[in-house]
Structure 1
């Protein structure tokens, strides 16, 4: 299933995308798409619905983050060896973990704002993993059983805030709008092999990032198992699993986002984001 939340910010309704790409309204079946709707049992119930019995949504409404009530937004750094190389950093022996503030969550096509004082805002297309079942000390063999589905994440990062203003990365990761997620939450049953997904990102029509989850240093199963040893993973938590090479920081000369830029990024089977870059404004 491809689950979505659509409508004005703060007023989103639940929906799904049918096999013909048509948006169907789920608000007559569930109140929202959040932690309560992400269990295996709840998803099986939704999967039994006949999409043609659901109201079709007219027009082209805005898509919001495809799940509500996100508890934790966890990032993994340097999880592709070629990205580590372009960043001038060694391949990590264990996953590098940081947190993105949930206040940075953004609709997939909503504008990305440059924070005040920013000079090095960068892009990162990433596979997002959405937890569906509470996970504590789970094995790698069982780890994917705790995953509800997958989505596209842009781990937008202000590199000066991240790397030049102290040892913690979080300051450069959680600025407003720095967490576009979606357009869809694609459930496990629709993804044959999560370690064989192609990723891409274009800046102003020029290809910047091309990669595959096949080249991740730590697989999705390894990451879920690893994180569950340090924190309880709850339904609705999102894990951004790292980015392939081609970020602005790694280019020669370096290229960072500026007002008026346009980003287009996606992952095979998980949909596409398109966002304009604008100056910061209160929201």
Structure 2
């Protein structure tokens, strides 16, 4: 797909969001927003550079399931015009099992990429007579572009799972996603990086401004814990709205790629 076609996909996305915002954003808030809120409230403050592992980690399972349900439901809403929020959620639930299997396999691919990068990085460090720091740096320099490439090739996996009939061949959706995105990785990666950067800046700006105000006000009122909760709610809303646009883009991209295949 040429860069100009990415502009066409974005225009499709813009029109859909403007037309179906009344359905899209409640659906995103009920899934992605709830997942973000659960995660934000459950994760403890980091000690040093690490977040301590504890009983809170059990919340990761419902968070991941809600995120997948949101991706499938929004994809269904985009690809099946004339539906409702309830219909989209039911369609997402029907495909959730297949999505879990597909994401586990994608995770295996990412893990294999990490192991390969670690081994190559260690070999490079040995040949260069470097230490652990050099090996870690070399591994990261290899893993980051490889993981980005894999993520880009799986960019249409969720809308594919939402649109196409389930299959017992568990690798078939991954192969199909790879086939659809062949030759388009550069354009998809560029759009993804720009949108991720813009979304991150917007989220951080709102967290800093509104979060600071909410924390100050709730401390003055003598209920500082409410400030933490309200900040998490604001963050969840912002993330849900931004992620909804991203998921619509992925579904529109799948529609164009599948139509051209």
State TM-score, norm by structure 1.
Answer: 0.27
Q: Which has the higher strand share?
A: 1
- The structure with the larger Rg is 2
Higher relative contact order (CA 8 A, sep 6+): 2
Structure-2-length-normalised TM-score: 0.28
